[in-house]
Amino acid sequence: MSLKRSLIGLLRSHELTGDKAKDPLLKSHYYKLSRERAWEEVVSTLKKMQGYKVLHEVQSVGEIVLEKRTVTGRTMDITVSVINVNPVTAAVDIYSASRGSFGDLGSNYRIIIDIYRTLDKKLAQYKTTGI
């Protein structure tokens, strides 16, 4: 992880992904799956991830809320969104925030990268670039 990321993390206690993200690792991920199928795959993958606890699943809006405790005892709240792009493509975006004050020293960034890496491995055959 870069020094810049750690410095940003001193002040910032959240991180999010999206199409317009400057960091290529924080760009939305796309999969050639219907939203329903992507939802099933994403939820089942997240439930198997070590250290993450699924708190809520709201399929109607495509959001899964997770919690992760760090080694330092902080709690991170993570929202994974499964978005319908078109009938055969779904996008996944992630928002991660730390509870409490002060920055997160880049841990929200690392959590997003970890979740994306796991999803990309599980859904490798469906991964696509954009719409």
For 20, half-sphere exposure in the C-beta direction (CA atoms, 13 angstrom radius) is: 0
pLDDT at residue 129, as a whole number: 81
Task: Give the span between the Cα atoms of 108 and 121, in whole angstroms.
Answer: 20
- Block residue for tokens 């970890």: 114
Query: Which residues, in sequence order, are CB contacts of 28 under 8 Å at separation 6+?
Result: 17, 18, 19, 21, 91, 92, 93
pLDDT by 10s per residue, the chain, length 131:
466 655 555 667 889 999 999 999 999 999 999 999 999 999 999 999 999 999 999 999 999 999 998 877 889 999 999 999 999 999 999 999 998 777 777 889 999 999 999 999 999 999 998 66
The residues facing 97 across adjacent strands are 14, 77
Task: Give the span between the Cα atoms of 107 and 6, in whole angstroms.
Answer: 9
pLDDT at residue 107, as a whole number: 87
The pTM of this model reads 0.90
